[in-house]
Amino acid sequence: MPRYLFFTLLLTCSPSGFAAYGYDYLWEILTPAGWGAVVASPAAGCHLADGTNKYGQTFIYRGYRFFRPDAVECIHTYITPEGVNRGEGAWVSLWVYRFGDGCTGGTIYNPATHICVTPEPAVGSLCQDQGGAPANNPLLKQVDGSCKPLSQSPSQKGFEPAQSCNVNVGNPISVDSGNKFQVETDLSGNHDSPIELKRFYNSIDGLWRHSFSASLSAGTKFAILTLPDGKEIYFQVTDGEAQVTRSGAGSLTRSNGIWEYTALDNRRFGFDGQGRLSYLVLPTGRQIKLSHKESSIILEDETGRSVELVEDSQHQPIAIKSNDLTVSYTYDNLSRLVKTIRLLNGQSSERHYHYSTAPASRLLTGITDERGIRYATWTYDDQGRAISSEHAGGAEKVTVAYNADGSST
């Protein structure tokens, strides 16, 4: 069956076509033969195509790409029967769709894995069984109760302000987790309007979020807050009141059905019933309201100035439009940002982003600026931790060593 016929079918049986299912979120695969197995997650569904088929074709799972909020396209490396590696792409006609009403019964939607989980109260603490993990990359408890290395834990994303010592070096790298964090400004605020659009990259997950990408997944017992810089903050919820699981992370309160997070700098984020950001109040008191349309978000300040923002299902920007500025973003098969095109007052400029050549890697290794000069370069170790940062010509080079005792130099 031609691929385009599937989209006609899905308009009648996708989640948007029902008022309610009567069950929690689940994922189901779709192939040219029709609907298939119910699977635990998008990754589990895509893994079903791994291996060598009867024609001698080999497919190796590399990831997936959201093409709508409730559906992904599987990405695999294809090796021909003759042994030729054709690279990464949507070689297999395999999609995974989400159905269901949400997460109930004390479970919560995990934005990292896209499934309902029973939250782990001790999330972020050291796992009792370290399984031989090195002291410089210990296993931490995740929100779903599993264990992951420090260098892969969502709680380590974002920029960590320095306390008693420097936790960030170079351009910049967290010396605790090895997370490479990058900030790019696409639209600057000014005296006339506070609307500012920045992008935030974390090597832990490889996504580029934006200034208004904050989201909240709140259940009856637990809540996960994802900030614009990617950092995840966890809250225990009792009788509608939220208690943060670690100190120094701000507060989350609920009033008239609206959750509001207050950061340490008094920045306030308000969320609607779907966990989407609905307003942002800056420390200065200026407010920005968000209106969520079918395919875009309208940002509006108190003066009436507005900016249109289009994002993908992982809160990565696709386009922004203001009076005199347009920025478009290009992504590859693995949803990695590879290019931005900025059009300001009729003048166009481009920036290019480079990643590790290892299969399925989302590690940012360099940026080529508007002049065509590669002005920044990063390298990583075999655990995905950033180990060096430098600018063009080797300027301001910084290297990081993760020592066996858990320290960094």
Dist. CA 189–CA 194, nearest whole Å = 5
Tokens 């709680």 appear where? Answer: 155
Distance of CA 151 to the CA centre of its chain: 15
Mean pLDDT on 202-229: 96
Considering the entire predicted model, what is its pTM?
A: 0.90
pLDDT in tens, 81-137: 999 999 999 999 999 999 999 999 889 999 989 999 999 989 989 999 998 999 999
Q: Tell me which DSSP letter residue 279 carries.
A: E
Torsion of CA 102, 105, 110, 115, to 10 degrees: -60
4 compared with 351, residue with greater pLDDT: 351
Distance of CA 329 to the CA centre of its chain: 16
- Quickly state the pLDDT bin for 18 (edges 50, 70, 90): very low
| Listed residue (385, 351, 391) closest to 203, CA to CA | 385
Mean pLDDT on 11-37: 76
- What share of the chain has pLDDT > 70, as a percent? 93
Alpha carbon of 229 to those of 58, 224, 262, 348, 389: distances in Å? 38, 14, 15, 27, 20
* Three-class secondary structure of residue 154 per DSSP: helix
- What share of the chain has pLDDT > 90, as a percent? 78
Which pLDDT does position 166 carry in this prediction? 56
Which pLDDT does position 162 carry in this prediction? 52
Mean pLDDT on 8-37: 71
Determine which of 108-112, 316-320, 340-344 has the lowest per-residue pLDDT on average.
Answer: 108-112
- Are 141 and 127 contacting, i.e. CB atoms less than 8 angstroms apart? yes
Which pLDDT does position 295 carry in this prediction? 79
Q: Is the pLDDT of residue 15 over 90?
A: no
Mean pLDDT on 345-367: 95
Which pLDDT does position 17 carry in this prediction? 44
CA-CA-CA-CA torsion sign (374, 376, 382, 384): negative
Determine phi and psi for 248, rounding to 5 degrees: 70, 30
Which pLDDT does position 12 carry in this prediction? 35
Residue 336 CB coordination number (10 Å): 22
Mean pLDDT of the chain: 90
